[in-house]
Every structure is written in structure tokens, then in C-alpha cells.
Amino acid sequence: MVALAGADVELREGEFLTLLGPSGSGKTTLLMMVAGLIQPDAGEVWIDGRLATYAPPFRRDVGMVFQNYALFPHLTVAENIAFPLRMRRVPEATIRQEVQRVLEIVRLPDVAGRLPRALSGGQQQRIALARCMVYKPSIILMDEPLGALDKKLREQLQLEIKQLHGDLGITVLYVTHDQEEAMVMSDRICLMNDGRVEQIGTPDDLYFRPRTRFAAEFLGESNIIAGEVVGSEGPDVLVAGPGGAMVRAVGDERLRGARHVAVMVRPERVSIHDTKTPWPEAEPHNRLEGSLRQVILVGGVTKYYVTLDDGQTIVAATLTGEAKAGMTPGARIRVTWPSAAGVLLPAAALPGR
């Protein structure tokens, strides 16, 4: 069984790069190879301009933050943070200065004398990060460090780690399966699937310009209409859906000549109208009708599930404050979106993905 195949990833200095993907996609395997805890069967690992493929972990100048914190329970917070410096035989006076410095950075200057068990989960995670930062490694590796925390604390620490990254200019390779976490924290996201790199790009790239159907479906919610290309008009490709309904999307050079494709549109780009409202004279180009099946309020967003006349369901999302009056299940509904909001995708994985 191959855990990781053909992964070519470049982590830039000062960058926050997240390895995102479902369980078994290879993201932790890739992280462990960088850390030196797993040896690759082929390929090379370079760190800070030096070949590190077979270097032991302690020779790689990397730091690691784990999900379970990995703090020494019998040592105080200050002793935990000082540990990597003592291993490097740093003078005690310098150690005391550096420990206090990183405690100030993680905004816990008054806990130096406490044991880890006296701290909350969020505080322990910040101490684990401080211990990692104190010896200034070239790369900080984080393996789902917030996975054990509750939602509110996790969201708070996401912003704190992002701010620390910006303030200190540290280089971070981060692993998570949480899409929102990746979107909030990352400079770039490396989306992995089945042991391969599916797509690398900024959060905007992956959300608004996914290159594969897997990327479109994994990151955020999406409407996907499979169909056949029947023509083009200017930059738009015309696609006939399964029920014969015509939809448009901006063309993609990779798919020139393809017959079977899929069109993806995000729910927030879909507008809904009752059938009494006349169709707009110009844009949007995509205009379909169906029946409103369900309305769900999700905090600040309201979602409308519309079953089209061909049987497919389209989801539209609006801010709850802009919820449409009179939209009740069973009502006839029109859905529209501009062709520029449609992303043309391959019907299956592209060769050499």
C-alpha cells in the first residue's frame, strides 16, 4: 500500500502552509517525512537549502507541536520551555531571558512556575508552541494541534497562532482535516487526496477556482451539475445538464475539447426568486426553475434547497438578515447565477493529477 505518491511541495520561508485532506490522504505521512520520523522510499527532503532526506530528526532544525501537547507533567512551564535550550547547552542566563520572552509572546507571562495540569487546554497548547519557538527552528511542524479543543477555544487559538505567525515571520507546516481552520490560518493550502497532491494554492484559489471535482466538493459547500459540452459563446462554455437544462461557465484551457464536464457554483452565488418576479433582461445567464424543498437557518446564513425540474437539488445561501419573505416549502422558485460564478471542472480526475 502506498501512503504517499508523487508529492512535490515547496514550503517558502515565512509561509504558513496547511496540508488539508480527509483521513488517509497522506498529509500526516508527509509531515512525518519532513520531521524525519518516517523515511521515504524515494525522493528527497530539503530543509533550509540542505539535503535532509536521511538526517536524524535532531539534525533537521525543525520544531513540532502535537495534538496532545506532549508537555512533561513533572516539569514546570518554565522548565518545559527551557528543555530544548538546555539540550543545546545554552547558558542559564540566556535560557531565563528566552523563556520569559516567549511567555510574553504567547501572552502567558505569569504561569512560569505552574505545572501543566494547572493550565487549561488552550494554555497548554500555547506553552507547547512556546517550547517549540524558543530555539528558533527553521520550520515549525503542527500536527492537528487544535483537534482536542472545543469549538470556541479552537477558533480563538486559530487567530492567535495566525497573529503569532505574522508577528514573528515563522515558517509553519500545519496539518488539519478542518476546512475552516485551513481557510482562516493559511497563506497557502496543499489539498491532498489518496496519497497525492490534489491542488496547491491560496484559500481563494481553492475556494473560487478549484481544479478538480474533489477540490470543489471537499472545500466548502458546492452545487455541481454534470453534463455535456454543446457549444460556446465568447468566453462561456454551454453545458447541457442531465435534464436538458442549459448552464454556462467560463471556459478552462485544460478542458478544451472535453465532452463530459461538470459545472460548479457556490451556494452564496445563487440567487432565488419567486415565479412572479420577471427574469432579468441581461445577466445572470443561468436561469432554472424548481420547487423549494426546505429552508434551513444556520446562524447568520439561511440555506434554500431547491429541487429543479430535472430532479437535481440546488442550494442557495443568503445572509439571514436578507432572508426572502414568503419562501415556503413547496413554492415554485427560480434560481439564477452569472456565468462567471460557474467553474468548469473535469468530470473525472485529469491524467497526471
Biggest CA pair distance of the chain: 79
Instruction: Please tell me the distance from the alpha carbon of residue 82 to that of residue 38, in angstroms, as a whole number.
Output: 27
| Cβ(85)–Cβ(95) below 8 Å | yes
Is residue 248 predicted with pLDDT exceeding 90?
Answer: no
What's the pLDDT band for 349 if we cut at 50, 70, 90?
low
| Cβ(289)–Cβ(245) below 8 Å | no
pLDDT tens-digit series, residues 189-199: 999 998 899 99
CATH 3.40.50.300 in the chain, residues?
A: 16-213
Nearest to 33 by CA among 63, 12, 54: 54
Cα-only R_g, the chain: 25
Q: Three-state DSSP class for 199? A: strand
Where is pLDDT greater, at 100 or 244? 100
CATH 2.40.50.100 in the chain, residues?
A: 221-346
| Cβ(293)–Cβ(315) below 8 Å | no
Nearest to 339 by CA among 253, 238, 261: 238
| pLDDT computed for residue 142 by the predictor | 92
Q: What is the pTM of this model?
A: 0.85
| pLDDT computed for residue 309 by the predictor | 83
* Fold assignment, 221-346: OB fold (Dihydrolipoamide Acetyltransferase, E2P) (2.40.50)
Residue type, 81: I
Torsions phi, psi for 84 (to 5 deg) = -65, -25
Mean pLDDT for the chain overall: 87
Report long-range pairs for 313-321 (Cβ below 8 Å, ≥24 apart): 314/223, 314/270, 314/288, 314/290, 315/221, 315/223, 315/267, 315/270, 316/267, 316/270, 316/271, 316/272, 317/221, 317/267, 317/268, 317/270, 318/268, 318/272
What's the pLDDT band for 350 if we cut at 50, 70, 90?
very low
Other CB atoms within a 10 A radius of the CB of residue 3 amount to 16
What's the pLDDT band for 121 if we cut at 50, 70, 90?
confident
Burial profile 180-211: b = 16 or more Cβ within 10 angstroms, e = fewer: ebbbebbbbbbbbbebbbbbbbebeebbeebb
| pLDDT computed for residue 122 by the predictor | 83
Is residue 322 predicted with pLDDT exceeding 70?
Answer: no
**For the structural domain made of 16-213, what CATH number should be given?**
3.40.50.300
Do β-strands 271-274 and 172-176 pair in parallel, antiparallel, or remain unpaired?
unpaired
Q: Distance from CA of residue 189 to its chain's centroid? A: 6
| pLDDT computed for residue 325 by the predictor | 61
Q: Which three cell numbers stand for residue 115?
A: 505545572
Location of C-alpha cell 462554455 = 237
| Cβ(209)–Cβ(201) below 8 Å | yes
pLDDT tens-digit series, residues 54-63: 999 888 889 8
pLDDT tens-digit series, residues 220-237: 899 999 888 888 877 888
Is residue 148 predicted with pLDDT exceeding 80?
Answer: no
